[in-house]
Structure 1
Amino acid sequence: MLSARSVGRLLTAGLLPLLLGVAAPVAAQRPAPRAVLSLSSPAFADGGLIPAAHAQTGRDVSPPLTWSGVPDSTRSFVLIVRDLDALVGDATDDVLHWMAWNIPATATSLRAGVPSGAQLDNGMRQISISGPYYRGPAAPASGPPHHYVFELYALDVMLNIAPTAMSPAATREAVLRAMTGHIRGKGVLTGRYQRPLP
């Protein structure tokens, strides 16, 4: 739950609409409709349990993802993976498990086990809270499973943001700002995970 102070900061920065998955103010948007992308994984169903292979307790490799329904205006994709049930810092930010941007517009999937590195051969850039790679879920065994949301955005631009010039939090904010007014479609996939009991 965001505090009133946090909501105020996000509104000032123009980021609250992006984080809530709603349209930004009309003045910030181009008059183009948003497509609903179909985002799925052969590793787990929407709302299902994420296998240990894709968690920190297992092999910690990124899950395979596929998507369709991409608008013709797409020039790149941004993927954001975050833990909705974990807060960091001043208790207003959820944990960023993966953010990949400048995924080529021709892509219709990401294979399992995307290699680490700030920038890959295909131009994709990536970061997480702990480095330039996918960070798998690791919710504690006590309490309920955490919800990990995978959000794929189709953009009508490439983003000129370096993956190593700033901290992960600052990079995430810069990417979100650069996305404003350029989102042409969005797909969402949610998985659940918690560590097994010892």
Structure 2
Amino acid sequence: MLENVPAAIGHLLEGVRPGLDKTVYYDARLTRVEHAIAVTSPAFTDGAVLPARFTADGEGVSPPLAWSDVPVGAAAVLIIVEDADSPTPAPLVHMIVHHLPGSNGAIAEGAVSSEPPSVATGRNSYLKTGWLPCDPPTGHGEHRYVFQVFALDTVPDLGEHPGRSAVEEALVDHTIAKGVLIGMYERA
């Protein structure tokens, strides 16, 4: 959808970005959480470019993700992926996955973009469930896609398809560990 935005408009909006500090992971109410979860992907490393197949320029499938070092006693794991550099006041939500077991785990490539998704999903910023492929405006520069994994001390009642606000409120009171992996993507 944003691939059709003229590069000139992308350049004009280049300074309009919410930033990492507006992502859920960096919420000031979660700074008390010290235990770190290791978040990895067999498709890209932290700070590296996301392969095009996970974007609107490719197949648009959800990337594989793995997490470890989840503390004993965790009741659930929740994942949220946000674009810290979208030309919007708040980060754009690309994916919410909830009701995962409270242990080390992984989700396979395409698991969140299948119809229906093979995991419990929340609503992305387009108010749809599943994976919203990375789609930065042409000429806007490099975007940071922040894959955030949270371990919770309870299984929160988030409803069937929660949005960012409901997820963030549950995380504030129940997060016992968190981890992050950042993938980069830019549309030239």
TM over 0.5: yes
State the partner residue of 1:98.
95
Measured against aligned partners, the alpha-carbon deviations of 1:4-53 in whole angstroms (never above 9, x if no partner) come to xxxxxxxxxxxx7955244548xxx7xxx631111011101100000011
Measured against aligned partners, the alpha-carbon deviations of 1:52-104 in whole angstroms (never above 9, x if no partner) come to 1111111111111111111002111111111111143xxx2111111111112
State the partner residue of 2:26.
20
**Which of 125, 134, 146 is matched with 1:129 structurally?**
125
State the partner residue of 1:6.
none
State the partner residue of 2:160.
163
TM-score, reference length from structure 2: 0.77
Residues 118, 125 of structure 1: 8 Å contact kept: no
Residues 55, 136 of structure 1: 8 Å contact kept: yes
Q: Secondary structure at the match of 1:178?
A: helix
- The structure with the largest strand share of the pair is 1
Q: Secondary structure at the match of 1:127?
A: coil
Residues 111, 118 of structure 2: 8 Å contact kept: no
Change (3 A) 1:113 1:184: same
Q: What amino acid maps onto 1:52 in structure 2?
A: A
Q: Distance in 1 between matches of 2:99 and 2:178?
A: 15
Change (3 A) 1:121 1:112: closer
Q: Distance in 2 between matches of 1:192 and 1:98?
A: 16
Q: Distance in 2 between matches of 1:54 and 1:161?
A: 27
Quote the offset at 1:181 in angstroms.
2.2
Q: Distance in 1 between matches of 2:116 and 2:28?
A: 29
Q: Secondary structure at the match of 2:91?
A: strand
Between 1 and 2, higher relative CO (CA 8 Å, sep ≥ 6) is seen in 2
* Percent of pairs with identical residues: 28
112-121 vs 126-135, which moves further: 112-121
Give every structure 1 segment of 4 or more consecutive aligned residues whose post-TM-superposition deviation is greater than 6 Å.
none
Q: Secondary structure at the match of 2:78?
A: strand
State the partner residue of 1:55.
55
Change (3 A) 1:118 1:182: farther
Q: How does 1:71-110 map to 2 (within 5 A)?
A: 71-88=71-88, 92-110=89-107
Q: Distance in 2 between matches of 1:17 and 1:191?
A: 14
Asked if 1:185 corresponds to 2:159, the answer is no
Quote the offset at 1:148 in angstroms.
0.7
Q: What amino acid maps onto 2:107 in structure 1?
A: L
Q: What amino acid maps onto 1:34 in structure 2?
A: E
How many aligned residue pairs are there?
169
Measured against aligned partners, the alpha-carbon deviations of 1:127-172 in whole angstroms (never above 9, x if no partner) come to 21221011111113314211111110011111211234xxx7xx21
State the partner residue of 1:151.
148
State the partner residue of 1:35.
35
Asked if 1:175 corresponds to 2:167, the answer is yes
